[in-house]
Structure 1
Amino acid sequence: MDCPRAEAYVLDQLHQLPAALYYHGRHHTIDVVAAARTLAAAEGLTDPQQLALLGTAAHYHDAGFLTAYQGHEAAGCQLAQQVLPGFGFSAAHIELICRLIMATQMPQTPGTEPLARLLCDADLDYLGRPDYWPVSDTLRRELAARGQHYDERAWLELQEQFLSQHRYWTAAATRLREPQKQARLAEVRARLAALTTAG
């Protein structure tokens, strides 16, 4: 399987994503690929084939946005099934990649599959990073462009709910990201409290 060519192909395709995908743009895919590699290393994953399949799944996990917003995971699987045989991927490899992509659908469902757990954690890596606020703002802008408008209070309440209910699936992400995620949650609650006081 020629992972570099398969990944270069989809990255080239992602240039065609709609401009209003402020969060789910090509930059998000590149971010998730980097996070997946970092988490895989932190988890001690060294098997070359497993790393290659994880990397390809990360590259294709949001490629479905090229053709669909709702149900983009299934659309991404369809793209993988169409193009990956041409890059030498077996049916079993493509089936695994599709399972990984589908695991990232909200709410995340990685089960016990280690690669799916890694990809799910990489997909929401930003929740426990210093750039949480600017990244979450891109999601708010993307939703607004689709007609889902949130005022400040409603957005903060949504963030509080999401951060409270979210869990990381790997020991590495729990160690590397959970403390910062809890700090972000505290910031969200402080902003909500300030709004209540001001109101």
Structure 2
Amino acid sequence: MDCRRAETYVLNELRQHLSPTLYYHGLHHTLDVLAQAQSLAEAEGVTDAEALMLLRTAALYHDSGFMTTYIGHEEAGCELVKRTLPDMGYSADQIELICRLIMATKMPQNPGDLHLAQILCDADLDYLGRPDFWPISQTLYVELQARGMAPDEQKWNEGQVDFLQGHQYWTASATARREASKQARLAEAQARLK
């Protein structure tokens, strides 16, 4: 498996083909998810080299479907994985696992008991428990506005409260790192509604 080639390929494709109105789901998000996935994998004690490479590949490809579609981008990302990674030395089993990881990030997240999927899901929504939650969530709101998919600000804030209340981190490491701060963001979101 030629991970460097897969990485170079997808990063070049994302740079060239992602819409400039993907204010949240842009290349910066993919790189953030990659960094968080690697950090969480280390914290979770994942040491198997192949597992780490497959997680890295899944993180880089997890939102690649946005190059062609907004709704159903996870499926489109899996199609890209299936079309391109065999030529880069990935086996059918490795490709299947990468697709399982990508599909786990579809809302509502569903990683099941697959540890790598839990890590990727937590990395994907890591910002919920970070100090930069508000500016990042605003980029999602603006992205949805650009597509005519955003509710008014009151409904958006209600949705933020609902999302934060319904969200759970899947790994012990993400829970330890982010849950307390996420609860603080929830309290702030609830205060905005009053």
Q: Same fold (TM over 0.5)?
A: yes
What is the alpha-carbon distance in structure 1 between the residues aligned to residue 171 and residue 92 of structure 2?
27
- Give the count of matched residue pairs: 193
RMSD over aligned Cα atoms: 0.8
TM-score of the aligned structures, taking structure 2 as reference length: 0.98
Alignment of 1:51-70 (within 5 A): 51-70=52-71
Alignment of 1:89-100 (within 5 A): 89-100=90-101
Tell me which amino acid in the other structure corresponds to 1:180: S
Q: Deviations over 1:57-90 (max 9, x none)?
A: 0000000011111110000000000110111100
**Alpha-carbon shift at residue 151 of structure 1 (Å):** 2.8
Alignment of 1:40-189 (within 5 A): 40-189=41-190
Tell me which amino acid in the other structure corresponds to 2:9: Y
What is the alpha-carbon distance in structure 1 between the residues aligned to residue 8 and residue 130 of structure 2?
27
Structure ID, larger Rg: 1
- Aligned-pair identity in percent equals 63
| Moved segments of 4+, more than 4 Å | none
What is the alpha-carbon distance in structure 1 between the residues aligned to residue 38 and residue 32 of structure 2?
10
Secondary structure of the corresponding residue to residue 108 of structure 1: coil
Bigger mean CA offset, 142-151 vs 86-95: 142-151
- 1:7 counterpart residue number: 7
Unaligned runs of 5+ in 2: none
What is the alpha-carbon distance in structure 2 between the residues aligned to residue 155 and residue 109 of structure 1?
23
- The question of 1:38 aligning with 2:66 is answered no
What is the alpha-carbon distance in structure 2 between the residues aligned to residue 63 and residue 149 of structure 1?
22
- 2:23 counterpart residue number: 22
**Alpha-carbon shift at residue 153 of structure 1 (Å):** 1.7
**Alpha-carbon shift at residue 148 of structure 1 (Å):** 2.1
**Alpha-carbon shift at residue 41 of structure 1 (Å):** 0.8
What is the alpha-carbon distance in structure 2 between the residues aligned to residue 73 and residue 149 of structure 1?
20
What is the alpha-carbon distance in structure 2 between the residues aligned to residue 131 and residue 36 of structure 1?
18
**Alpha-carbon shift at residue 149 of structure 1 (Å):** 3.1
